[in-house]
């Protein structure tokens, strides 16, 4: 056996389980990127625990953001 230890802790922030939702929305580093992006924060100030809820929120932001064309180009990457 190879004795590989599976650690699910985020290797960037060491504070949460490394899930897709954590990496894109909850990780300290991801939250910094979102804060700098100009995308409005959620009403409660924190992203949801569901990646589907978070993606829906980001992709259906009311009104046109000044950088909407740039954001539209990013959608295929999400």
The domain limits of the chain are 20-77
Q: Say what the pTM is.
A: 0.64
Which residue is it, tokens 């922030």?
A: 13
What is the C-alpha separation between 48 and 41, in angstroms, rounded?
11
Distance of CA 48 to the CA centre of its chain: 10
Cβ atoms < 10 Å from Cβ of 61 = 12
Q: Give residue-wise pLDDT tens across range 11-65.
A: 888 888 888 889 888 898 888 888 888 777 777 777 888 888 888 888 887 665 5
Say which residues have a Cβ less than 8 Å from residue 12's Cβ, sequence separation at least 6: 23, 27, 28, 29
Say which residues have a Cβ less than 8 Å from residue 48's Cβ, sequence separation at least 6: 25, 42, 54, 57
């Amino acid at each position: 056996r190879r004795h590989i230890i599976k650690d699910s802790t985020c290797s960037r922030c060491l504070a949460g389980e490394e899930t897709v939702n954590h990496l894109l929305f909850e990780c300290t580093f991801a939250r910094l990127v979102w804060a700098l992006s100009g995308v409005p924060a959620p009403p409660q100030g924190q992203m949801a625990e569901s990646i589907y809820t978070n993606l829906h929120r980001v992709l259906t932001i009311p009104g046109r953001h000044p950088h909407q064309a740039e954001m539209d180009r990013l959608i295929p990457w999400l």
